[in-house]
Structure 1
Amino acid sequence: MSTVTRTELVLPAAGLGPENPLPPLLRTEPAASVSNVDELPADLAANLSYGRLDTVLPCRMQDGYGRDRAEQRLPALVLENERLRATVLPGLGGRLYSLLDKETGRDLVYRNPVFQPANLALRDAWFAGGVEWNLGSTGHTTLTCAPMFAAEAPGPGGEPVLRLWEWERTRDLPYQLDFWLPDGSRQLFVGVRIRNPHAHDVPVYWWSNTAVAQTPGTRVLAPAGKAWHYGYSGRLELVDVTGDLTYPARATAAADYFFEVDGPPWIAAVDAHGHGLGQASTARLRGRKLFVWGESAGGRRWQEWLAPGAGGYLEIQAGLARTQLEHRRLPAGASWDWLESYGPVAADPEIAHGPDWPAALASVAAGLPAAEELDRRWREWRASADAAPGELLAAGSGWGALETRRMLVDLPGTPFPESSLGAAQQPWLDLLDGVAPRAEPAAEPPETLVNRHWADLLEAVPDKGWLTWYHRGIARWAAGDREGAAAAWHRSVEAEPNGWAWRNLAVAQDDPVRAAQYYRQATDLLPKLAPLAVEAVTAQLAAGDPGAARELLEPWPAEGRFALLRARISLALGDLDGAREVYERGFTVPGIREGETSLSDVWHAISPGPLPAEYDFRMKTGGGAG
C-alpha cells in the first residue's frame, strides 16, 4: 500500500520577502485580449468575453523577492508506492515538485534545481517546474507561492490519499486536490474538486500546468489535428498540427498552442527514445495546450532566469476550456470535479516520431489509462472525496475559516479550522460584530476584503475614521465604482492625512501631473516604503518631471528597479553618459515581467551597440502566455 510521509527539500532558494502592502488596483500587465473575436466559433467567443479580472484584489502582490539564493529547507510531503514517488510542496500552492519513476530512476516532470521566484504570476512571484494547479483567472494562480492545508485522508479501498485544500480569494471558491497512488500503480491520480457555495454563478478558470524537460528530440502529442495559436499579435488562429509544431526545440519564438482535442483528452511529451510523461483525464478537463519558450535569445534568457544552470523545459497543460483566455460558468451551489492521471510513457520511437500522425498518437495512447479505467477510478475517488481528513500535515491561510464563518457553510472533506484565523483576519472578525477597523495612519493597513458581503458591511458600519474610508474606497474600486472609490479616499485623507489613500488617489487619477502630485504627498507621509517609491518615481517621469523623479529617487540605493529608474531619469535629463554608466556598472531587476521591454528600450535609446545578453528579455517576436 502507498504511504504518505513528511520530509524537507534542501535546495538553493531565494526568499519570497514581504508582500507589497499597496493594494493592486490595476493589473501589472493588461489582461490578455483577442483581436479577432468576431471570427471565432460562438461558444469560444462567448467564453472569451466572460469573467475577466481587472485586478487580483483582495490579494496583495508578492514582489519582495530577490535573486540571492541560499540553502533552505522547504517542507514537502511524499506519496509513494513501489513504482512512483510524488513529492508535493504544500507551502507553494501544492506544486507537484517531482514525480520519480522508481523503476528507471527518471523524474517524469522537470525538477527545478533551485527555488527562484520571478514575475510571471497574477501576484508576481512564480517559479518554474513540476505541476502547477491554476484556479482563478487567465494566468498563473494567486496561490502559486502560497500555503495550502494538507492532510492524509482515507481514499478508495482504504488506501491513503494526500489531500490539499484552500480558499481561492479572487473568486471566493474552495477547492481540493486529492493525490492518490494505488498499490502497484504506475499512474499518479489527482482528483480535483471546485465548489461554489454561493447563491450566484461564479466564473471559473482551471489549468494544470506540467513542466517537462525539453531535449532536441522531444515531441508533444495530443489527439488533435488542429490547434489554436495565440501570440503577442492578439489573434487566435486555427492552425494544422504539423511535424514542426510538435517538436518544441524547432520553435524560434515563444508560442501557445491549444489543441482541438478529438476524443478522450490526453497529452504527452516523449523524447527521441519514446520515453516521457503522459497526462490524461476524465472528460470535464477537455483543454490541452503546448507552451514553448522558443529558441530566441529572449526565450533562452528566460529559461536560465527561471532555472539557473538547468536545461530547458516546455509545458504540457490541461484545462476546463479549450483555451486559457476563456472562463466557464460554475452555477450557484454547484460542484465540479474530475480525475487526472500522470505517469510514464514508453512508446515505439520509430512510430511515435514517424510521419503517420494517427499511428504516432496510437503508439503513445497505448501506454495511458483508457477512458473506461479513468471513469472507474473517478467514481471510486468521488465516493471518498467527502471523507474527513486526519491530522494536519501543513496549514494554509485563515481566509477560508473567515469566509465559512461569515457564510455559515459546511464543506465536507475540506475543513477550514478556526485555529487558522490570525491577525490578518481579526479586523474582519471585528467587522462581523459591527466594530470598524482601527489603525495609526503610519502603520500598514490590513488587507481589504472586497466581495459584496464585506463591502456592504463596510458601508453600513457607523464610522468616519480614515481606515474605514480607505477600505470602502478599495471595495468600491473592485466593484467598478471608480468615482465612489476616489470620493472615499478623499474622505480618508480629510479624516486624517495618510499616505495610503493618497497613493490610491494617484493610481485612480487620469491626469499624470495630478497623479505625480498625489504620489509626492504619499511619499511625504510614507518616505521609507520602497514599492511606493518605485511607483512615485515612475509617475514623475510619466508627468514629464525628471527633476522631481531624481529628487524622490535620491535616498534609495542604485540597485534593482531603482537602478533602471536612475538610467531612465538620466536619459530624460539628456545625460546619456550617466545612463550608460548604470548599465556598464551592471544591475539586475528581479521583478522583470514577461513581455516587459524596459531594459532593452532604455539601452537602445542610449547606445548604438547590441543589447548585452544579460538585459535581453524580449519575447515579443513570437508570442506566448506562459
Structure 2
Amino acid sequence: MATTVRRALLTLPAAPLGPDNPLPALRAPDGVHELDERSRHGLPRDMARQIGHEPLRSLLPVQVRDGYGRERAEREFEAVVLDNGRLRATVLPGLGGRVHSLVHLPTGRELLYRNPVFQPANFALNGAWFSGGIEWNIGATGHTTLSCAPLHAALVPAPDGGAMLRLWEWERLRDLPFQVDLWLPADSDFLHVGVRVRNPHERPVPVYWWSNTAVPEEPGRRVLAPAEEAWHFGYERSLRRIPVPRWEDADRTYPLNSAHPADFFYEVQDAARPWIASLDADGHGLVQASTGRLRGRKLFVWGAGAGGRRWQEWLTAPGTGGYAEIQAGLARTQLEHVRLEAGAEFAWTEAYGPLSAEPSAVHGADWAAARGAASAALDAALPAEALEAAHRAWRGHADTEPGERLAEGSGWGALEVLCGGFKLPGTPFPESTLGEEQRPWLELWRSGVFPTPRKVVPPGAALVAPHWRDMLETAPADPLTEYHLGVAQWHAGDTAQAVRSWERGLALAPSRWPLLRALAVADALAGDRERSADRYAEAFEDLAGESRGGERWEAAESALGREAMTALLAAGRLAAARAVWDRLRPVLREQGRFRLLAARLLAAEGHVGAARRVFEDGFELPDLREGEETLSEIWSTLTDAPLPAAYDFRMRPQG
C-alpha cells in the first residue's frame, strides 16, 4: 500500500508540565556525567580531546523546566502517524519529535518500549524529560533541552515519491538548526530517518547527537552490537574499558544482569557496519542501523537493584514492565563533543525495524557467533548498500521546502535567522512564528533599546550569544538592560563585569529581587556564604512584597524560595529560613521540595522527631534529579533506620 501520513490525537494519563523556572540558570549544569580525574588518564587521544572539547558552561539561554507535578489526568497530544501497511510510526511533534510507538503490522509487535503515561522527570539538561520511544538528543551531554518542547513539523516529498515528515528546530545551547526527516518506503519494514545538523556561523561549533531508543526489558532479552569491548560509565563517574559480553562474572549484554544503572559505550569495530539490536528470548526484537557518520553505539541499563527499579516505577505506571535504551551517536561516548567547522554540516540516515534471528545463535555463549547471526539477519533484511542508497536519495530531498504544516515550534529560530541573515533551505523559520518571548529582543535588534514592560512582571528569557551581548552593551543602561547584560556577561565567563552590571542596575531598580538573586548566586560561587545568604533573604522579602497572582509569579516565588531557604540553611541562618517559610504561599508549602526543606529546617531547629515525621507522612519530589541522593542523605541524619523503599533512588553502589 502507499505510505500515508496523517494527523491524530493520542490520549494518555499525563502530569502537567507547568511553567518554566523564571530564574536564569547561572550555576553550571549538574555534573552527573563528568569524569573523575583518574578516568581521564590513559584514554585514547581522540576521545580525550573530544571529552575536553568545549563542555557546556551553563544552560543559558535555555530556561529550566521544573514546574511539573505527578498528578495525572487524561490529556490529548497531537500526533502524526506514518503507515505503509508494514510499519506504523506514531510521532509527537509537541514533545521533541519523540517517536512514541513503532508497530510491525504483520506480527502486531510493538518494537519500542511505549510508555503508557506522560510523566516528566528531571533527566533533561534543563529538567523535564519523559521515558519511552525514540528521542533525538542534540546540544550537550545529556537529554536535550527540547525533550518536552514543540518542534516545527511539515510534509515533504519522500525520496521514493511518497510522503515524508520533517521535524526541525533551532537548538539554543549551541545555536544550531537541525532537521529530522522520517519516511516509510513502500513495502519496507524499516522506518528511515534522515538527520542533518548545520553550522551557519563563521566559527566552528561543538556538536552532540545521540538517538536514544527505549526497548522492553525482560528476562532473556539481549542487546547485540558489533563490538568486543565497551567503555563502562557508572554513576560513580568513572570510565573504564571492559570486555564484551562478560565482565565481573556476568554477561552484561543482558540488561538485568547489572545491579546498578550504567552506560556501556561499545567500541564498534572500524570495519563493521554500525548497528545495535535488542532481541528477546525467541530471537525477535528491534534493530537500529545507520550510515557511517553515526558511529557510536550504547546500551543503558537501569539494573536489577532497588534504586534502578524505583526509578522505573517513577517514570511510568506500576506493573508495565521496565525498559533499557539502545542508542547511537556521533562519538564513541556521550562525554564527547565533536567539532563542526564553520558553514559545514553533519548528515546521516538511520533505520529502525524488526529483526528476527535464530535464538540459539543470538543467545549462545559464543559472542562472535551471536553478533554474527544478528548481523547476517540485518544484512538480509536491510543490506548496507540499500541504506547507503536511501541516504544518497534523501540528501537530494533534504533542501526541499516543506509543504503542509503540521505543527509549529518556537520563535527563537526565526529571531536568529532574521538577525543573522542565515539561508537555510529546507528548514524555514518564518517571522510569523515570532511570539511574546521574542518581542523585547526583536525590539532591541531593531531599535537598539531593550523595552521596559508596561507592568511589573518577572523578567523574561535571557539571550547570551555574543551578538546579543554586544547589543545590550550599547543599549541605554536601565535596570532591566543591566540585568540581562549581566546574565550575558556571566555566561561569557566575565563574572566580575556581570557583578558590576547587576550592582549598577540594583541602584535604580524598581524590582530588586532578580538582581539581588543574581548577586546572591555570584556571592555563593565566590565562597561568600554569609553575603549570599543576606542577599537571598532580601531578594525573597522583595519578591514576597511585590508578588501578584498568576502562574508566573507563583513560579518565581517557588524558585526563589527554594534557593533562598537552601542558602540560609547552609549558612546556619535558621530564623531567616523560617521567615522565608512563613511568607510562602500555602500552596507552595505542599510542594515536595518545600516539604524536604521543612524537614531540614525542623531538624536544624532541634525538632528531629518532627522532621522524621515529614518523611513518615510521605511526600514526593517531582523534580528529583538523576543521580541525586538528597533523600537518602537527609534520612540518614534523622535516623539509623533503613531508607524506606519509596525514597530509594540511589544509582550507584553504596560505600
Distance of aligned partners of 1:622 and 1:231 in 2 relative to their CA distance in 1, 3 Å threshold: farther
Between 287-296 and 238-247, report the one with greater CA deviation. 238-247
CA contact (8 A) 1:265 1:286 kept: yes
Amino acid at match of 1:256: D
1:219 aligned residue: 222
Give runs of aligned pairs for residues 169-248 of structure 1, distance below 5 A: 169-243=172-246, 244-248=251-255
State the 1:33 CA deviation.
2.2
Partner of 1:586: 618
Deviations 1:192-240 (A, max 9, x none): 0000000000000000000000011010000000000112332211100
Query: What is the alpha-carbon distance in structure 1 between the residues aligned to residue 441 and residue 533 of structure 2?
Result: 33
| Cα offset, 1:572, TM superposition | 1.4
Aligned to 1:569: 601
Q: Give the residue type in structure 1 aligned to 2:13.
A: P
Give how far 1:549 is off. 1.1
Alignment of 1:347-362 (within 5 A): 347-362=357-372
What TM-score results when the alignment is normalised by the length of structure 2? 0.93
In the alignment, what sits opposite 1:342?
A: 352
Answering whether residue 484 of structure 2 is matched by residue 471 of structure 1, we say yes
Letter in 1 for 2:68: Y
Query: Does 1:264 pair with 2:273?
Result: yes
Residues 9-66 of structure 1: CA deviation (Å, up to 9, x unaligned) = 1010011000010001113522632222221111111001002112111010110000
Q: Counterpart of 1:151?
A: 154
Query: Do 1:442 and 1:526's aligned partners in 2 also have CA atoms closer than 8 Å?
Result: no
Instruction: Give TM-score, length-normalised by structure 1.
Output: 0.98
Tell me the amino acid that sits aligned with residue 615 of structure 1: Y
Give 1:441 shift: 8.2
CA shift, 1:622, in A, is 8.1
Residue 488 of structure 1 deviates from its aligned partner by 0.7
- CA deviations over 1:451-471 (Å, ceiling 9, x no partner): 00111111112x121100000
In structure 2, what is the equivalent of residue 383 of structure 1? 396
* Cα RMSD (Å): 1.3
Contact 1:558 1:566 in 2 (8 A): no
Task: Indicate the larger mover: 592-601 or 23-32.
Answer: 23-32
Residue among 537, 544, 561 paired with 2:565: 537
Question: For 2:24 and 2:89, how far apart are their aligned partners in 1?
Answer: 36
Name the counterpart of 1:316. Answer: 326
Q: Match of 2:148, SS?
A: coil
Bigger mean CA deviation after superposition, 578-587 or 191-200: 578-587
Alignment CA distance shift 1:307-1:413 (3 Å): same
Structure-2 separation of matches of 1:475 and 1:565: 31
Query: Which deviates more from structure 2 when the two are superposed, residues 9-18 or residues 541-550?
Result: 541-550
Report how far residue 366 of structure 1 moved.
2.4
Alpha-carbon distance in structure 1 between the residues aligned to 2:413 and 2:203: 18
Question: Which residue is equivalent to 1:300?
Answer: 309
Structure 2 residue identity aligned to 1:109: L
- After superposing the two structures, state which structure 1 stretch, 152-161 or 330-339, moved more: 152-161
Identify the residue that residue 335 of structure 2 maps to in structure 1.
325
2:327 partner letter: Q
- Aligned positions, number: 622
Question: Which ranges of 4 or more aligned residues in structure 1 deviate by more than 4 Å?
Answer: none
CA contact (8 A) 2:4 2:82 kept: yes
Structure 2 gap ranges (5+): 548-556
* 2:169 partner SS: strand
What's the counterpart of residue 433 of structure 2?
A: 420
SS, match of residue 336 in structure 1:
strand
Q: Deviations over 1:568-617 (max 9, x none)?
A: 11111221111011112111111111111111111111112111111111
Counterpart-to-counterpart distance in 2, 1:265 and 1:16: 36
Residue identity (%): 55
Matches of 1:559 and 1:335 in 2, distance apart?
44
Supply the distance in 1 between the matched residues of 2:421 and 2:29 (Cα, whole angstroms). 35
Whether 2:301 is the aligned partner of 1:287: answer no
Q: How does 1:509-520 map to 2 (within 5 A)?
A: 509=523, 510=526, 511-520=528-537
Summarize deviations over 1:138-167 as a string: whole Å, max 9, x none: 000010110000001011131111000000
Distance 2:305 2:575 in 1: 38
Paired amino acid for 1:403: E
Match of 1:165 among 152, 162, 168: 168
What is residue 61 of structure 1 aligned with on the other side?
Answer: 64
Cα distance between partner residues in 2 of 1:592 and 1:428: 33
Residue 12 in 1 paired to residue 13 in 2? yes
Partner in structure 1 of residue 51 of structure 2? 48
Q: Which AA in structure 2 matches 1:535?
A: E
Matched, 1:97 2:100: yes
| Corresponding residue number in structure 2 for 1:371 | 384
1:113 and 2:116 matched: yes
Question: 1:82 & 1:360 partners in 2: Cα distance?
Answer: 31
Which residue of the partner structure matches residue 551 of structure 2? none
Superposed, 1:381-460 pairs within 5 Å as: 381-433=394-446, 434-439=448-453, 442-460=456-474
Aligned-pair CA distance for 1:103: 1.0
Q: Secondary structure at the match of 1:338?
A: strand
CA contact (8 A) 1:210 1:315 kept: yes
Q: Are the structure 2 counterparts of residues 201 and 28 from structure 1 closer, same or farther at C-alpha, using a change threshold of 3 Å?
A: closer
- Structure 1: where are the runs of 5+ without partners? none
Distance in structure 2 (CA, Å) of the matches to 1:205 and 1:394: 25
Give 1:258 deviation, angstroms.
0.3
Q: Once the 2 structures are TM-superposed, how far is the Cα of residue 84 of structure 1 from its aligned partner?
A: 0.2
In structure 2, the residue matched to 1:524 is 541
Partner amino acid for 1:278? V
Deviations 1:243-299 (A, max 9, x none): 411111111111111000011110000000001100000000000000001111110
Letter in 1 for 2:579: E
Q: Distance in 2 between matches of 1:271 and 1:80?
A: 25
Contact map agreement 1:253 1:622 (CA 8 A) in 2: no
Does 1:546 pair with 2:574? yes
**Match among 638, 645, 651 for residue 613 of structure 1:** 645
Partner residue, 2:285 = 276
SS of the residue 1:289 aligns to? strand
Greater mean alpha carbon deviation, residues 553-562 or residues 270-279:
553-562
1:22 paired to 2:54 = no
**Structure 1 residue 545: deviation in Å?**
1.4
* Aligned counterpart, 1:493: 506
Contact 1:231 1:622 in 2 (8 A): no
Shift of 1:358: 1.7
- Separation in structure 1 between the aligned mates of residue 452 and residue 590 of structure 2, nearest angstrom: 36
Partner Cα distance (1:512, 1:550) in 2: 18
Tell me the equivalent position of 1:481: 494
In the alignment, which of 120, 131, 137 is matched to residue 128 of structure 1?
Answer: 131
C-alpha displacement at 1:435, in angstroms? 2.2
